[in-house]
Copies of this chain bind each other. A is one copy, B any other.
């Protein structure tokens, strides 16, 4: 990707902003639930009219169907926010072939892995918006992109230190020393591969959605185990945490218009034409109105983490680039009016509540030509958990979930639920899926809900619970 590409794609007069020649339209991406839910019994169809919180079923894999590391999974569809469950999930064994260059790639991903493969595992959650298509494409595609990106660097990953030249050919005798001084380790290649895989997947989704005439986007949260480490890559507002007996550790942070305010305002500062004169890039505590003209009001611009006062001019009355704050949290009982986008949730260009993710290539502000995509990043933030270095206890788990869970449960509340559930259920081979189900039930305002304040999630909620013990240790096999 070059700056020239960015300008052609997004700025007025660019070649790519004109619609391309019409091509025969591909068939739309079919709706589906994750493959590993097959045989688990189906809940109400998407058009079910009575999706009250207490009527929607929580789904999890059939007993007898084991996920990698015996991980647990559960999901619930939203309460009438959209026709489909826009969350998607996938997981599986990751087989990275230590191949010669130019060798044909294996098209079958979920295969038994012979010894010449570097093996790992993969769990992913995708939270869609604007339709389920992008999340389904991501669930179908991202692991293949990741495998391809990892295979491109696997020789460097398995070396004691990544070589300057992938060929192993040494052109400058002090190359190992240069690499050493930069502190480049095998895990940096995995981080780079994850970053590249998200971008590649984003491009695939863009092409596929354009071909099928569909729209939409999704967040992506991925955990990958490789060579004794757990990599958590996040683009969006899902979250992963590590829960141990004495520790709760966030493994990801959220990317929303609020948390990425300065990056987004900076882009609007550099390319004001992206706002088409319709938005102000400045942040104010509330939307300004005519009465504020000439007053000194609180504001923030791209270079500020603090606040200042500015004298309100007419252009400050435009709709703000980022408006609102906080998350949508609903009260029990269910309000009678239909759930619409709450006015206080922070949104980018009045449209989108996340600032990183996949898809959204065609997304525009309603009734305008103003594009969202230039403000979105597909690149994830990656954190590395050195599982081999942890003194693992039997009930150490990673909890990954879409924002529907975290909107109503804090990290500490989830940790308390984990710690109260697992010790009493040691005999149940399905205890991690049971725990995932219990976490989802706790978001539904049931009696005994730990949220106390009766907060209810009406969003889609999907949860993986990944146990680290025994699987995490000594699993750095090849």
Which A residues contact B (CB, under 8 angstroms)? 2-4, 6, 152-153, 156, 162, 164-167, 169, 171-172, 174-175, 178-179, 181-182, 184, 187-196, 199, 269-272, 285-286, 289, 291-292, 295-298, 300, 303-309, 325-326, 344, 377, 379, 381-382
Contact = CB atoms under 8 A, between A and B. Distances in A.
B184 A307 contact: yes
Contact of A171 (B156, B291, B307): B291
Nearest to A281: B3
Main secondary structure of the interface of A (DSSP, over half): mixed
B306 A164 contact: no
B306 A182 contact: no
A164 B285 contact: yes
A165 B305 contact: no
A309 B153 contact: yes
Contact of A189 (B175, B291, B303, B307): B307
A431 B358 CA distance: 59
A141 B178 CA distance: 42
A236 to B, nearest CB: 16
Contact of A188 (B165, B169, B306): B306
13 contacts: A153-B308, A156-B298, A164-B298, A165-B297, A171-B291, A171-B292, A178-B285, A181-B344, A184-B298, A187-B306, A192-B304, A270-B270, A303-B379
Contact of A192 (B153, B184, B291, B307): B307
Given A171-B291, A171-B295, A295-B169, A307 B270 contact: no
B192 A286 contact: no
A307 B182 CA distance: 11
A307 B188 contact: yes
Copies in the complex: 2
A162 B307 contact: yes
Contacts of A193: 306, 308
B167 A295 contact: yes
3 closest pairs, A vs B, by CB? A191-B306, A192-B306, A166-B296
Nearest to A169: B295
Nearest to A378: B303
A282 to B, nearest CB: 12
Contacts of A295: 165-167, 169, 171
B296 A190 contact: no
A130 to B, nearest CB: 24
A46 to B, nearest CB: 35
B195 A164 contact: no
Given A182-B325, A196-B308, A306-B190, A3 B272 contact: yes
A326 B196 contact: no
B172 A286 contact: yes
Contacts of A296: 165-167
Given A189-B308, A309-B153, A297 B181 contact: no
Contacts of A308: 152-153, 189, 192-193, 195-196
Contacts of A271: 3
Nearest to A101: B296
A378 to B, nearest CB: 9
